[in-house]
């Protein structure tokens, strides 16, 4: 099975719960479990090849221009994490089926869970760091949904926000680090990066890249000082906590450090940052876990400590440390999943997770007692369980580690951390299962059914088997993964007995001292509670409040809700940046001579300046401003004609006519003048900025037109390839429907959405209070008595077929002559607009046959269908094709697929304009119903006075 398909199966499984939830919880769980099982089987099919030292790859071009390809790989490290993610995922799916109550939306839960699983599988199978980053951020988003699954719990919502904030911030840092790493290596392919160790470590950017990448890894794996988010994530349902702490999310950071271990490790920076952080996290997490009361809080901080242990082992930079790290990843996944599911069972059956309210459960819940005790003993590192072996390997490596010139300091701190690990593990067993039975249990405890017991029981069986037969059960997987991490051929020796050595002696001392700490816990707990210490949550909340306050202050200072202020600030910034660039850069000598000034263009230029100046001077008169805008547009159209750009001229004239007509309708409902909203000082500043921008644009245009380019422009490419590749002589149209067809497709989609928004806003004005105000509205000026002049009616009806013919002609000639779907749509829209203006909305609406909503939809679908059709021939989206055909009784003609795309543009433009007109006309019709009841030659305000 292809690695790409393995990565896709969980995402496909995420679609099933929502579709099958009406069939029952069992069907939803089985569908998800089946997809996970198929992915696991597909992964395991590659075990022989991976064990032989091979790497299974699959790659598909996605965005090769930026180095982003959908590349996947399966090596020993991918195999290890993939088995953990998918295998434990199946057990979590089974466990969740019986854990969640009937009131919980199970379909939603399984959808989130499968998205989370897919994101994690994507991370470990990615062979491209950009693709890995996409999956990395997806884990943050999907974990946010899972942690906040119980939306009614404030702690769940807060825990989800905290996890997203911390891991998201680390992810942003990691993006920068990965980009630097790929730039150093010259490739974003992980396989290529792993071969560039010398270049990476010799680069001056090695340390910045290392710090940024470790920032992402440490936040994701809850390393100090980012450890605080993980315990707050325990507000999620226990299946989520078990999955998140054992095989996913927090293991992503460990995976990243292991994946990049061959190129980032072996330097003093790596050792002191990674090993020290891991050791400190291991110690702090273990100490805090000892004094927590909530079962899941104890296990959450124990996860922090255990993750610190793996981080420390990876930070040592030795082959033995890497072997111990990957082995403990396996061991931690087995006993931690079992422990969290045990805690969930206790909460489910006893009704509480508080250690103070528990005790004596060994007799009431004997099966749960056996599972929880074995898993906790493994976490404590007690033989003959698997946790003992990896703890001994850790202590052995720590005993040989020299930190800052001290030969024993590192080993001593690791031993102290191991002591506290034993203590919180023993406390979990003693205070939950031993002691007398209590009478104040919220619920009467008893062992649950097999639905809840199976998954943790299965994991405990693995705990025992790996402990008793480590090489048989896990040696092959540890060897394959250690080979991938180190890039060398390793020979792990996993055994319960390595003789009497410092590690064994330290482990025995830690076990005894851990038991002593548990015995002294009633005396130590009040001291811990009274001890002043920083609370990470309090600090985090304070930082968030401060950041929000600063952001709000900055936002209020920069934005007052007026578009003019934002536009002014942006324009001023552009002017300053342009001035700096002009002052510090070199424009080069002028190479083009000035053209002679002709009288007619000069007159047009003067008229343009006069119209623009009048626009500024009289802009408060809205009707006059609209007329002046039309004049400016007309002069610009003439300029396009003079500069031999007929397509642009046709488009400009059509847009001006449509815009003026629609704006005239809109102005009918608006005040006739714009109020003065700013003082003289503000208007002066605006005038200064506008003048600077105008002079800057003018100067830039002058500089560009007086100089030749030292490089080939894209214009020459379009001119030389318009006919060869697009089959059209009209370069402008070929660009719109072929070379940059995707831009056009986006524009018509936005145009259609805008028209629908106008329609929706009009709907709100025609109902409720707005409709009553509109009905009672009176025009402030006298209205003409002849609403539909006969001459105008006759002329427009005669013009309609001619206009439609012209529109069809413009559409058909567009590929080789000035025209096209956009211009044709505007021409036909103008002809229909004239019908509405001449004969009225009601008359025109009665003769409408095609709804404008459908016209927009058909246009967008037709344009998209034309683009999708290229995929059927293995070509990129919107790739056009053309050919020449001899039709009966006609000459040879050219037919291009771009014509279908242009037809979609035509329909979308026509539908958008007419829908906007429809919206405004309905408002006009509502007010017209009132006006029709009044004498049209009488001023309504004067008749009102006379009535009084």
Residue 488, CA atoms < 13 Å, CB-side half-sphere: 12
In eight-state DSSP terms, residue 498 is -
In 3D space, the residue among 618, 452, 591 whose CA is nearest the CA of residue 95 turns out to be 452
Instruction: Give the dihedral sign, CA 560/565/567/569.
Output: negative
Spatial contact of 142 and 119, defined as CB atoms under 8 Å apart: yes
The Cβ-side half-sphere exposure at 829, using a 13 Å CA radius, reads 33
Degrees, nearest 5: CA angle 223-225-227 = 50
- Of 142, 33, 135, give the one whose Cα is nearest residue 94: 33
3-state secondary structure of 489: coil
Element (H, E) at 59: strand 56-63
How many Å is the Cα radius of gyration of the chain? 37
Q: What is the pTM of this model?
A: 0.73
Indicate the SS3 state at residue 561. Answer: coil
Rounded Cα–Cα distance for residues 246 and 243 (Å):
5
The answer to whether 733 touches 819, Cβ cutoff 8 Å, is yes
CA pair distance 236, 242, nearest whole angstrom = 10
Predicted local distance difference test score (pLDDT) of residue 778: 61
Tell me the three state secondary structure of residue 644.
Answer: coil
Q: Where are the alpha helices (DSSP H) in 643-730?
A: 646-667, 680-705, 714-726
* CB neighbours of residue 2 within 10 Å: 15
Which pLDDT score is estimated for 935?
43
DSSP letter string over 244-303?
Answer: HHHTSTHHHHHHHHHHTHHHH-SSHHHIIIIIHHHHHHHHHHHHHHHT--BHHHHHHHHH
Q: What is the pLDDT of residue 139?
A: 92
Asked if residue 77 lies in contact with residue 259, where contact means CB atoms within 8 angstroms, the answer is: yes
153's enclosing H/E stretch is: none
CA distances, 528 to each of 363, 523, 532, 910 (Å): 32, 9, 8, 74
Residues, the chain = 948
Instruction: State CA 333 to chain mean position distance.
Output: 29
In the prediction, which pLDDT does 768 show?
66
Work out whether the CA dihedral 262, 268, 273, 276 comes out positive or negative.
Answer: positive
Q: How confident is the chain (948 residues) per 10-residue block, as mean pLDDT?
A: 90 87 84 93 92 87 75 92 94 92 86 93 92 92 90 84 90 93 90 90 92 93 88 87 86 93 92 94 93 90 93 92 93 93 90 85 90 94 92 91 87 93 93 82 84 93 94 91 89 85 91 92 88 78 88 81 78 86 81 86 89 87 87 90 87 87 78 75 84 87 83 79 81 84 87 87 73 63 64 85 89 84 89 82 74 87 86 78 74 77 90 83 61 42 40
For tokens 């769980």, name the residue: 29
User: Residue holding tokens 């994490």?
Assistant: 81
Q: Give the three-state DSSP class for 57.
A: strand
Q: How confident is the model at residue 37, as a pLDDT?
A: 94
Q: Which of 318, 329, 246 is nearest to 275 (CA)?
A: 318
Q: How far is CA 70 from CA 128, 252, 767, in A?
A: 7, 19, 51
Peptide bond into 932 cis (omega under 30): no
Distance CA 880, CA 875 (A): 9
Question: Is the preceding peptide bond at 225 cis, omega within 30 degrees of 0?
Answer: yes
**Cis peptide bond N-terminal to 579, omega within 30:** no
Query: What is residue 647's predicted lDDT score, i.e. its pLDDT?
Result: 86
Cα Dmax for the chain: 115
Euclidean distance between CA atoms 297 and 245, whole angstroms? 12
pLDDT at 781: 58
Virtual CA dihedral for 914, 919, 922, 928, nearest 10 degrees? -100
* Closest to 73 measured CA to CA, from 167, 253, 193: 193
Instruction: Write out the H or E segment, with its range, that includes residue 387.
Output: helix 386-399
The C-alpha atoms of residue 947 and residue 828 are separated, in whole angstroms, by 47
Which residues fall within 8 angstroms of residue 339, CB to CB, at 6 or more apart? 299, 372, 375, 376, 379, 428, 456
Question: In the numeric block, which tokens belong to residue 390?
Answer: 């990896």
331 vs 378: CA distance, rounded Å? 8
d(CA 337, CA 460): 9
Spatial CB neighbours of 202, under 8 Å, sequence gap ≥ 6: none
């Amino acid at each position: 099975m292809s690695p790409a398909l393995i990565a896709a199966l969980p995402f496909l499984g995420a679609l099933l719960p929502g579709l099958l939830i009406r069939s029952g919880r069992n069907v939803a769980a089985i569908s998800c479990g089946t997809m996970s099982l198929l992915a696991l089987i597909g992964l395991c099919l590659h075990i022989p090849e991976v064990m032989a030292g091979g790497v299974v790859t699959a790659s598909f071009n996605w965005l090769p221009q930026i180095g982003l390809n959908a590349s996947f790989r399966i090596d020993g490290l991918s195999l290890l994490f993939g088995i953990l993610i998918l295998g434990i995922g199946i057990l979590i799916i089974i466990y969740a089926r019986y854990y969640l109550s009937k009131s919980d939306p199970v379909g939603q839960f399984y959808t989130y869970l499968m998205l989370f699983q897919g994101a994690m599988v994507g991370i470990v199978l990615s062979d491209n760091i950009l693709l890995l980053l996409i999956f990395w951020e997806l884990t943050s988003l999907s974990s946010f949904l899972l942690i906040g699954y119980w939306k009614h719990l404030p702690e769940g919502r807060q825990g989800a926000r905290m996890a997203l904030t911390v891991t998201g911030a680390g992810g942003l840092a990691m993006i920068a680090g990965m980009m630097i790493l790929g730039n150093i290596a010259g490739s974003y392919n992980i396989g290529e990066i792993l071969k560039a160790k010398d270049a990476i470590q010799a680069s001056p950017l090695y340390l910045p890249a290392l710090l940024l990448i470790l920032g992402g890894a440490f936040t994701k794996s809850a390393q100090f000082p980012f450890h605080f988010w993980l315990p707050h994530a325990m507000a999620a349902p226990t299946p989520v906590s078990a999955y998140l702490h054992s095989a996913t999310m927090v293991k992503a950071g460990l995976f990243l450090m292991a994946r990049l271990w061959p190129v980032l490790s072996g330097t003093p920076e790596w050792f002191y940052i990674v090993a020290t952080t891991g050791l400190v996290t291991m110690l702090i997490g273990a100490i805090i876990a000892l004094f927590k009361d909530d079962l899941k809080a104890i296990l959450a901080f124990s996860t922090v400590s255990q993750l610190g242990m793996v981080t420390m082992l990876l930070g040592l930079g030795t082959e033995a440390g890497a072997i111990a790290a990957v082995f403990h990843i396996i061991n931690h996944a087995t006993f931690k999943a079992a422990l969290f599911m045990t805690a969930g069972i206790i909460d489910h059956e006893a009704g509480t997770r508080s250690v103070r309210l528990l005790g004596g459960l060994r007799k009431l819940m004997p099966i749960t007692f056996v599972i929880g005790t074995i898993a906790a003993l493994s976490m404590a590192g007690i033989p003959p369980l698997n946790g003992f072996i990896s703890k001994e390997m850790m202590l052995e490596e720590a005993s040989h580690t020299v930190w800052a010139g001290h030969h024993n300091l590192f080993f001593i701190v690791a031993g102290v951390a191991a002591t506290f690990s034993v203590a919180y593990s023993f406390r979990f067993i003693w205070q939950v299962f031993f002691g007398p039975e209590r009478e104040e249990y919220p619920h009467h405890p008893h062992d649950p059914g097999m639905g809840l017991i199976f998954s943790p029981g299965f994991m405990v069986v693995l705990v025992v088997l790996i402990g008793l037969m480590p090489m048989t059960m896990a040696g092959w997987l540890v060897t394959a993964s250690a080979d991938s991490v180190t890039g060398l051929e390793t020979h792990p020796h996993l055994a319960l007995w390595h003789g009497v050595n410092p590690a064994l002696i330290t482990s025995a001392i830690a076990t005894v001292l851990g038991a002593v700490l548990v015995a002294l816990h009633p005396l130590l707990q009040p001291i811990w509670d009274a001890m002043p210490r920083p609370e990470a949550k309090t600090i985090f909340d304070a930082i968030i409040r401060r950041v929000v306050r600063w952001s709000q202050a900055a936002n209020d200072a920069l934005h007052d809700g007026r578009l003019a202020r934002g536009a002014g600030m942006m324009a001023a910034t552009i002017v300053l940046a342009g001035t700096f660039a002009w002052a510090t850069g070199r424009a080069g000598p002028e190479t083009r001579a000035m053209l002679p000034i002709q009288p007619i263009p000069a007159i047009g230029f003067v008229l343009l300046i006069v119209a623009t100046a009048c626009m500024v001077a009289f802009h408060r008169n809205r009707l006059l401003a609209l007329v002046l805008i039309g004049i400016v547009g007309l002069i610009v159209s003439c300029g396009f004609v003079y500069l031999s750009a007929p397509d642009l001229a046709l488009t400009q004239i059509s847009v001006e006519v449509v815009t003026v007509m629609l704006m005239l309708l809109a102005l009918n409902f608006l005040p006739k003048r714009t109020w003065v909203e700013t003082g003289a000082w503000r208007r002066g500043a605006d005038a200064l900025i506008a003048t600077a921008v105008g002079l800057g644009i003018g100067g830039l245009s002058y500089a560009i037109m007086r100089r030749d380019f030292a490089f080939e422009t894209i214009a020459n490419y379009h001119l030389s390839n318009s006919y060869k590749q697009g089959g059209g002589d009209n370069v402008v149209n070929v660009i719109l429907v072929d070379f940059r067809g995707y831009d056009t497709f986006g524009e018509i989609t936005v145009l259609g959405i805008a028209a629908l928004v106008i329609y929706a806003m009009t709907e709100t004005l025609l109902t409720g209070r707005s409709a009553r105000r509109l009905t009672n509205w009176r025009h402030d000026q006298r209205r003409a008595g002849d609403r539909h002049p006969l001459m105008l009616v006759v002329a427009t009806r005669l013009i309609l077929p001619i206009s439609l013919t012209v529109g069809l002609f413009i559409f058909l000639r567009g590929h080789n002559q000035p025209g096209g779907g956009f211009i044709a749509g505007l021409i036909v829209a103008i002809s229909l607009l004239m019908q509405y203006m001449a004969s009225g909305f009601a008359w025109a609406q009665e003769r409408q046959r095609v709804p404008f909503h459908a016209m927009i939809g058909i246009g967008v679908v037709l344009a998209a269908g034309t683009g999708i059709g290229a995929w059927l021939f293995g070509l990129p989206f919107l790739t056009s094709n053309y050919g020449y055909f001899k039709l009966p009784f006609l000459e040879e003609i050219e037919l291009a697929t771009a014509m279908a795309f242009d037809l979609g543009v035509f329909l979308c433009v026509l539908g958008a304009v007419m829908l906007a007109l429809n919206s405004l006309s309905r408002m006009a019709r509502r007010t017209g119903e009132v006006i029709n009841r009044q004498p049209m030659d009488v001023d309504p305000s004067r008749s009102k006075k006379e009535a009084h």
